[in-house]
Chains A and B, each alone.
Chain A
């Protein structure tokens, strides 16, 4: 990346793999479990977080020198809640259909620990440009895992992807179902999301042993 210094580029790329918010920092797990039963919801959530985290990081970074340290968590919460509510209101007024799809996610975004985590760990100590890159990097790293989990859960749990019946029709017994394949309803429940995330963590650490902690 020519226009980014090496240090800045690392802010974008580190969270994608070796410092992934979900698999390494273990942030944002709650939403990764809650809304990954289908791929579409995962994508919507990933895009929303990208927007809020990118913008929120910049706002917090700009305010970093005037935020009183005693109430900084509350201030962060107010900033993210305000951003999300503004977006929600504007969408309700001008893009009602879209707002209906997103309304479920509003509460989840405000309480997403990834957002608070990045505000606290990065935006409070860095300039706006670097904070923006960090926000985008972490949101993408989060989104990648979310979409991966959503992909497997929807495929194995419902036999569909984005609502399309890719494995055939379970009721009409076509496609894979004709030879006795069954959907695993268990995949739709939250515990299986945890197991899928666990498997992803396992794969990642087995490929990069430097990530394994010493006991």
Chain B
């Protein structure tokens, strides 16, 4: 006996209805939750930038942001200027932190001018320059924010990822990795941009040498680490002209 559900007509109809129901359900949910999700992402960007310049609630070993409730106020308090660098033009914008780095990288590829956001923060009399970076890890996108002083010495770094392997590549957002970058130089005394390479076996596991342009890699996360090196080199080198101008 062939069942009613075996016929081609039923199968087609079932497929059509199912796709329609599931599609509209997901579309409805996605569009109704979009404002809340966007808002969360906006606050997270502020938290990331603040984190990189050392405004955070870190305990002994964990990375903690300032709470979402105060992020907006803290951002206003610590970030004095939000700059947008376009070629030689420097402008100020209140929404520079919302600039989509991914889009700007694509623009640059198409030969258009890339907008480079740079956040000038001040904490306890010290000035921080925070720049966003973005690149590729093993599975998906990785990104972060690096804060520097006027000599391009790293003052703090925050990294995040979309889908790196838990326990391995995902550990780029752990304190022990991010903190290694603090104090590292990006430029030689002579002003040559070197970047920072995430390197295996650099004989500096506790990261005492701050001018070797290297930090110790995470075991089992070679490709993610290479991605971090690459995005630092590629994206931060674009800010070199700004810093050179600053010193003049």
A34 to B3, alpha carbons, bound, how many Å? 41
Other-chain residue from B15, B164, B205 in contact with A104 (beta carbon distance below 8 A)? B164
In the complex, the chain A residue whose C-beta lies closest to that of B68 is A96
Quick one: closest B residue to A99, CB to CB?
A: B40
A35 and B165 contacting across the interface, CB-CB below 8 Å? yes
> B134-176: which have CB < 8 Å to A?
162-168, 170
Contact B205 A189 (CB under 8 A): no
Query: Do residues A38 and B26 form an inter-chain contact, with CB atoms below 8 A?
Result: no
Instruction: Please determine whether B168 and A66 come into contact, CB atoms closer than 8 angstroms.
Output: no
Tell me the chain A residues, 72-128 only, with Cβ under 8 Å from chain B.
74-75, 78, 82, 85-86, 89-90, 92-94, 96, 103-105, 107
CA A69 to CA B14, docked complex, whole Å: 11
Which B residues from 1 to 59 make CB contacts under 8 A with A?
A: 3, 5-6, 10-11, 14-15, 18-19, 22, 25-26, 29-30, 33, 36-37, 40, 44
Q: Is B206 an interface residue (CB 8 A)?
A: yes
Does any Cβ of B come within 8 Å of A70's Cβ?
Answer: yes
Q: Which residue of B lies closest to A86 (CB)?
A: B29
Interface residue from A68, A103, A104 paired with B11 (Cβ < 8 Å): A68
The smallest C-beta distance from B189 to any residue of chain A, in angstroms, reads 29
> In the complex, which range does the number of interface residues on chain B fall in?
20 to 34
Question: Contacts of A67 on B, CB cut-off 8 Å?
Answer: 5, 14
Which residues of the other chain, A, contact B163 by a CB distance below 8 angstroms? Answer: 103-104, 107
**Chain A residues closer than 8 Å to B205, beta-carbon distance:** 171
CB of A189 within 8 A of CB of B220, answer: yes
Identify which of residues 17-73 in chain A touch chain B, using a CB-to-CB cut-off of 8 Å: 34-38, 40-41, 44, 65-71
Chain A CB within 8 A of B99 CB = no
| Given contacts A37-B220, A96-B40, A171-B206, A66 and B5 within 8 Å (CB-CB) | yes
Residues of B within 8 Å of A93, CB to CB, are 33, 36-37, 40
Q: Which of B3, B37, B166 has the most CB of A within 10 A?
A: B166
Tell me, in angstroms, the Cα distance from A145 to B137 when the chains sit together.
29
Interface-central residue, A40, A89, A107, A185, by most chain B CB under 10 Å: A89
Interface pair B220/A163, CB less than 8 Å apart: no
Residues of B within 8 A of A94 (CB): 36
Does any Cβ of B come within 8 Å of A154's Cβ?
A: yes
Residue of A66, A93, A153 ringed by the most chain B CB atoms within 10 A = A93
Q: Quick check: B22 and A70 within 8 Å, CB to CB?
A: no
The verdict on A188 contacting chain B, using a C-beta distance below 8 Å, is: yes
What residues of A have a CB within 8 angstroms of the CB of B164 in the complex?
104
Is the pair A154, B6 in contact by a Cβ cutoff of 8 Å? Answer: no
List of A residues within 8 angstroms of B37 by Cβ: 89, 92-93
Which residue of chain B has the shortest Cβ distance to A34 in the bound complex? B165
Q: How far is the CB of B4 from chain A (nearest CB, A)?
A: 9
A95 to chain B, nearest CB (A): 9
Q: Which residues of the partner chain B approach A66 to less than 8 Å between Cβ atoms?
A: 5, 14
A152 to B124: give the CA distance in the assembly, Å: 45
Note all chain B residues with C-beta closer than 8 A to A105: 166
Contacts A69-B6, A71-B14, A71-B15 given; does A104 touch B166 at CB 8 Å: yes
Nearest chain B residue, comparing its CB with the CB of A92: B37
- List the A side residues contacting B5 at CB < 8 Å: 65-69
Q: Using a CB–CB distance below 8 Å, which chain A residues touch chain B?
A: 34-38, 40-41, 44, 65-71, 74-75, 78, 82, 85-86, 89-90, 92-94, 96, 103-105, 107, 153-154, 163, 171, 185, 188-189
B: residues with CB less than 8 A from A are: 3, 5-6, 10-11, 14-15, 18-19, 22, 25-26, 29-30, 33, 36-37, 40, 44, 61-62, 68, 162-168, 170, 205-206, 219-220
Given contacts A69-B5, A82-B26, A154-B167, 5 further A-B contacts (CB under 8 A): A66-B5, A69-B6, A93-B33, A96-B40, A163-B61
